Structure 1
Amino acid sequence: MNVLSLLPFDDTQRAALMAGAPAATFVHASRTDVTDDQIARADVIVGNLAPSRLAAATNLKLLQLNSAGYDKYSGPGILPAGAQLASAVGAYGQAVSEHMLTMLLCLMKRLHTYRDDQRAHEWTDRGQVTTLAGARVLVLGCGDIGNHFARLCRAMGAEVHGVRRGLGAAPEGFTAVHTMDELDALLPEQDVVASFLPSSPSTKGLADAAFFAKMRAGAYFVNGGRGDLVIQEDIIAALESGHLAGAALDVTTPEPLPADHPLWDAPGAFVTPHVSGQFHLPVVLDNIAAIAAENIAHVAAGEPVRNAVAL
């Protein structure tokens, strides 16, 4: 078996990856310098190879993505016939949840405005702040990231409810879990609404003017999932009217957000450039190496892979 890795693994992470199939041949390259010959020889590719280059992957059995999202790879004819696709669900829970919680707390404690005051050399009291202790938090998406975020909020004293496609036992961190058809009734009760939903036809544009109008006045909105969940004009209007106290956004539409886009200057908007789920926290690459090693072993044994994406 030939395994091509396109990720910036360190020596420890490479060793963990190679443990999945000690007899395999491993080649390490980057997305920019990988050759068509290396792609053609690979039975397994670890990393988000550009879809346009997959035509060269004539021996491919598995494309192991380094992302939880897989939209660009799931269309017909993108992967060679017979190749499997697996996501990296489970790798990003800690990184994304910590990033989004930090953004939320900065808004609730007005830290972003004090940073502005520091830069302006102004000694200003910004007044009352809010807390997660006793707050009601609604998490859209109860997967790995949503579960991590729920546990962090609950540890700070919040009551956390979740929304997902199907009912079942509430995962750790959640007081209760609801289905999407209950969303309209839940929104007015929440102090924080946080989304970690993937992009799908049913989620695109879900957070529109009607969605924000249903949220309680003075509530906070958090989006660490996909930017196309939100109608940008509608969230700007909700912030400008003061209906929303703030919005923590690590994802936008489009990305990158143009320099002249009004979202940058919307009151209470805290925007980061889709960095919560990258490799800035080293444990993310640890997790991806472990997932990839497990799936390499499954491919070698002819077994189903973890995080398989239906094509």
Structure 2
Amino acid sequence: MAKVLCVLYDDPVDGYPTGYARDGLPHLDGYPGGQTLPTPQAIDFTPGALLGSVSGELGLRRFLESRGHTLVVTSDKDGPESVFERELVDADVVISQPFWPAYLTPERIAKARNLKLAVTAGIGSDHVDLAAAIEAGVTVAEVTYCNSISVAEHVVMMILGLVRNYLPAHRIVNEGGWHIADAVARSYDLEGMHVGTVAAGRIGLAVLRRLKPFDVHLHYTDRHRLPTEVEQDLGLTFHPDAATMVPHCDVVTINAPLHPETEDLFNAHLISTMPRGAYLINTARAKIATQEAVVQALESGHLAGYAGDVWYPQPAPANHPWRTMPHHGMTPHISGSSLSAQTRYAAGTREILENFFDGSPIRDEYLIVDGGKLAGTGAHSYSTR
């Protein structure tokens, strides 16, 4: 029997919910492009429930214990005395979320002598050292596409929030004021702007599709060029890399995975090539943008705004400079953890575990590392050097 170690974020401050704002979720027939939603044999949770926090347990306890497995759930993940560190030693499976990542470093992978499977309940497995996983023969999987649209919606919200200066205007109301001039002094229309995405995979392409009705000029760069018919339908301008794209864009959104080719991509030099007054949105990974360069660009006025929900480390310390830099729209890492997305990634996590314990193949689109090499989606999206 296996030991499954699951790291989830804490319950709400006021306790685990006893009710929700809405009754149930809309029905989805599938993902754009035809990929099916997760197809576990069954689920032991109510769709729309809070599954990503400790008490939600991703709806896995009944399933795992009915098969004789042990489930350990914790939010205590950092430091040598953490529950995660202690329980990792003999864990067969580790489950973690990008929003509250349990970093599987080479040292931790070496320590986890029984580890066979690392699952990301969500998208983005960069909290696992993929090279070390390959060396150790650990399979790495994630629930691809489960929250891509959730993140794309968050990106569009943040673009509009920055460009229209929504957050300061909302703050004026909360503080009892009616200072219209203060609210509109940094407010513009998105219409007519040039908007570009770094990466046009599931999230980036969904962002482009959602922005087309705003009558903007759309740009993208990606290591895999989109089909001609998609470019024509959306009116896209392709650029071979970020360096050639960003000088043309009023708004840039980062939707690429973190790997050696993208780490610190948006450094001081690249940001300096963006037009003065441009906006930068990053819901991908914090380390794609150089922390100090973002702060300096906002303080100097070169960037008009920065928004995102990814930080390093996560959770971000109270004194993280992105909390207090000017003209930001940062949120905790929530873009891919809506209640709608949680239903899908909890179901997908169960599907992966069913496959693993039954000895049946895990979906190719879920695989990041398998058989001692990058596999499936991992081979398409990641590099290890």
1:137 paired with 2:180, answer no
Structure 2 CA distance for partners of 1:3 and 1:293, relative to 1, 3 Å? farther
The CA distance in 2 between the partners of 1:253 and 1:82, in whole Å, is: 27
CA contact (8 A) 1:169 1:177 kept: no
Correspondence for 1:98: 153
Correspondence for 1:107: 162
The two structures have a TM-score, normalised by structure 1, of 0.78
What secondary structure is seen at the aligned counterpart in 2 of 1:193? strand
The CA distance in 2 between the partners of 1:211 and 1:76, in whole Å, is: 28
The CA distance in 2 between the partners of 1:154 and 1:223, in whole Å, is: 19
1:292 paired with 2:349, answer yes
Residue 140 of structure 1: how far off its partner (Å): 0.9
What secondary structure is seen at the aligned counterpart in 2 of 1:309? strand
Correspondence for 1:283: 340
Mark the runs of 5 or more structure 1 residues left unpaired by the alignment: none
Q: Tell me which of 219, 223, 226 is aligned to 1:165.
A: 223
CA contact (8 A) 1:54 1:79 kept: no
Residues 9-53 of structure 1 deviation map (CA, whole Å, 9 limit, x = unaligned) = 8624699989x99x95566542368998999585x6554667487
Amino acid paired to 2:291: Q
CA contact (8 A) 2:298 2:325 kept: yes
Structure 2 CA distance for partners of 1:87 and 1:180, relative to 1, 3 Å? farther
The CA distance in 2 between the partners of 1:34 and 1:234, in whole Å, is: 33
Alignment of 1:1-311 (within 5 A): 4=4, 6=6, 11-12=45-46, 29-31=72-74, 46-47=95-96, 51=104, 61-75=116-130, 81-125=136-180, 126-127=183-184, 129-169=187-227, 174-176=234-236, 178=238, 180-181=240-241, 183-277=242-336, 279=337, 281-296=338-353, 298-299=355-356, 300=358, 302-303=360-361, 305-306=363-364, 307-310=366-369, 311=373
Q: CA RMSD in A?
A: 3.9
CA contact (8 A) 2:109 2:132 kept: no
Bigger mean CA offset, 30-39 vs 143-152:
30-39
What secondary structure is seen at the aligned counterpart in 1 of 2:329? strand
Residue 256 of structure 1: how far off its partner (Å): 4.3
Amino acid paired to 1:104: I
Amino acid paired to 1:150: L
Residue 284 of structure 1: how far off its partner (Å): 1.6
Residues 145-176 of structure 1 deviation map (CA, whole Å, 9 limit, x = unaligned) = 22222222224333332211122416588533
What secondary structure is seen at the aligned counterpart in 1 of 2:127? helix
Residues 104-124 of structure 1 deviation map (CA, whole Å, 9 limit, x = unaligned) = 212222121123323443321
The CA distance in 2 between the partners of 1:231 and 1:3, in whole Å, is: 38
The CA distance in 1 between the partners of 2:168 and 2:96, in whole Å, is: 38
Amino acid paired to 2:238: H
CA contact (8 A) 2:5 2:91 kept: no
> What count of residue pairs does the alignment treat as equivalent?
307
Structure 2 CA distance for partners of 1:272 and 1:45, relative to 1, 3 Å? closer
Amino acid paired to 2:194: R
Structure 2 CA distance for partners of 1:276 and 1:15, relative to 1, 3 Å? closer
CA contact (8 A) 1:36 1:56 kept: no
What secondary structure is seen at the aligned counterpart in 2 of 1:270? coil
What secondary structure is seen at the aligned counterpart in 1 of 2:368? coil
Q: Report % sequence identity.
A: 26
The CA distance in 2 between the partners of 1:76 and 1:208, in whole Å, is: 25
CA contact (8 A) 2:194 2:250 kept: yes
Residue 232 of structure 1: how far off its partner (Å): 2.4
Residue 245 of structure 1: how far off its partner (Å): 1.8
Structure 2 CA distance for partners of 1:29 and 1:238, relative to 1, 3 Å? same
The CA distance in 2 between the partners of 1:38 and 1:186, in whole Å, is: 43
Amino acid paired to 2:216: A
The CA distance in 2 between the partners of 1:206 and 1:196, in whole Å, is: 12
The CA distance in 2 between the partners of 1:210 and 1:152, in whole Å, is: 30
